Structure 1
């Protein structure tokens, strides 16, 4: 059986197939991991530990000489993503009341939902796609992009930045595995070779674990509006991020790979509401909409990235042939 070859026929298959399998299991058999227990449950619920090891292995492949490029690329993608959220948030605030839209097709839509969905990139998805289609230096750019994580920039965009401190310890914790890998890989070439072999192998494993945090019923509950929001995240942020990527010497692959909504973004509305009670009425609906964006973008971004990578390769081959 040609299992690997058949999986890779699907755009981003090594990421998307295990992710969808995990989501299906979590949707229809949400307690399966707890029932089976032991190592199976640890795998199904262990996305973060697997990702942390993945970051170490990715870090080992990075040459420290590329640090200026990492800062330039990461800064450009971070700025472009936050710019999308801030711009759309400011525009939406002109038309959407503070309590959100209460009726009609757009019922449940709020500025909070829009900003939370746009602001935060799915780091695991980005790293997996870059390791398959992009450059290792572009994967390292996420160490700077991780500043998006959590409610901080959403609060800034909403005009409540004074209610929170910058999460420096969390940021250090995010980049530490990558730094450890970079140190090991640059001190010892054998370690770089040893750890780099694990990068493609680990993708389907953490993808399956990430899938087990998603529930397809969220798409049903949020309805067509949530699905359209997810599509909008990919189209709007993807367009801006591709431009930012190209302006910093890229080919657009890193840009489209970052055009997703992070799983932890679904927790942002509740976090904001806990700090500023005025957002409490809109937080539940915002959570559902953002959770739907997580699923929709997790499906669309690998497909879009694979398509864009194929387009880039075709253009490059045409230039060589010409």
Structure 2
């Protein structure tokens, strides 16, 4: 049976499929984890523990030694993406506060959902696209952009937006696993090689645990709203990042390739709510909305990037390469198990 290959054909599949399985089980029988207890029960309720390990492993992949080009490209995209999250947090924070919208077409939408969806880039998708249409140093720029990973910047953004703040210990605690991983990976390349293997392996496990905390009957309306959130993330961040990349000497391809939501961003709302109960009401629906944004952006970003690459090729501004529909589909599938 081609289980892995089938899951990877779904955009964001390694995150989305286990999350949906957990949500279906929880919707049918919320006490499944408690009933079995022991290791099974721990798997149903252990999202934060698994995520702590995940961020140590993710941190090990961040190399501190970078060329000026990587610092320029990766640093610019990182700063602009985070600035967009802050701007969205400030505007929506004034309108919504910490609580989600209670009724209507936008029921369930919250500042937390929007900021989490905008703050983190799908690294696998970015590297696959830039590997196909860009240069090796464009791919390497993600080594700096990967600092977006985790809830730290989302917590900072919400604080800057004037919403419920987090104690400094919580902020440090959110960043510490990533820092530990960075230290280990930069001190010992063998440790980096060892830890980085666990990054894709851990994704379906924390996704399942997150899904086990979601009741699908309370988020049935997130379908259309999740699509709208994904489209908004792609359009807003895509336009700004594309323009920024062009203004800093790039072709714009890197900006388009970074206009996505990372798979592990769906874990951020639950972590934020665990750190500050003020966000508890928004966390469950925010998780589903962000997961939907992962899927939508994983579809739109490769299509837009490939289309623009063809345009550059016709104008002689990009070397000819494989930009066929099949290649684009393969790129999308490649990103399905990524961050």
Query: After TM superposition, is the score higher than 0.5?
Result: yes
Secondary structure class of the residue paired with 2:319 = helix
Shift of 1:44: 1.7
Instruction: Tell me how far apart the structure 2 counterparts of residues 209 and 114 of structure 1 sit (CA, whole Å).
Output: 22
Give CA deviations for 1:44-93 in whole Å, capped at 9, x if unaligned. 21111111111111111111024956654443222201212333455x58
Q: Alignment RMSD, CA only?
A: 3.9
Alignment of 1:222-301 (within 5 A): 224=221, 227-246=223-242, 247=244, 250-257=254-261, 262-264=268-270, 267=273, 271-272=277-278, 287=281, 291-301=284-294
Give CA deviations for 1:90-144 in whole Å, capped at 9, x if unaligned. 5x58xxxxx9999x846978xxx64343233498xx57x4245546526622258
Instruction: Tell me how far apart the structure 2 counterparts of residues 257 and 108 of structure 1 sit (CA, whole Å).
Output: 21
Could you tell me which runs of 5 or more consecutive residues in structure 2 were left unpaired when the two chains were aligned.
128-138, 322-339
Q: 1:267 to 1:302 in 2, by over 3 A?
A: same
Instruction: Tell me how far apart the structure 2 counterparts of residues 205 and 100 of structure 1 sit (CA, whole Å).
Output: 27
Aligned equivalent of 1:277: none
Query: How high is the TM-score relative to the length of structure 2?
Result: 0.68
Structure 1 residue 146 and structure 2 residue 144: aligned? Answer: no
Aligned equivalent of 1:197: 197
Contact 1:56 1:181 in 2 (8 A): yes
Secondary structure class of the residue paired with 2:183 = helix
Shift of 1:175: 1.2
Which of the residues 275, 279, 301 maps onto 1:308?
301
Q: 1:106 to 1:155 in 2, by over 3 A?
A: farther
Q: 1:253 to 1:51 in 2, by over 3 A?
A: farther
Contact 1:133 1:306 in 2 (8 A): no
Shift of 1:212: 1.3
Equivalent pairs counted in the alignment come to 286
Instruction: Tell me how far apart the structure 1 counterparts of residues 125 and 100 of structure 2 sit (CA, whole Å).
Output: 40
Secondary structure class of the residue paired with 2:205 = helix
Contact 1:230 1:293 in 2 (8 A): no
Q: 1:33 to 1:133 in 2, by over 3 A?
A: farther
Aligned equivalent of 1:87: 91
Instruction: Tell me how far apart the structure 2 counterparts of residues 132 and 202 of structure 1 sit (CA, whole Å).
Output: 18
Secondary structure class of the residue paired with 1:255 = coil
Aligned equivalent of 1:185: 185
Contact 1:20 1:208 in 2 (8 A): yes
Q: 1:84 to 1:201 in 2, by over 3 A?
A: same
Shift of 1:172: 1.0
Contact 1:19 1:211 in 2 (8 A): yes
Could you tell me which runs of 5 or more consecutive residues in structure 1 were left unpaired when the two chains were aligned.
94-98, 273-282
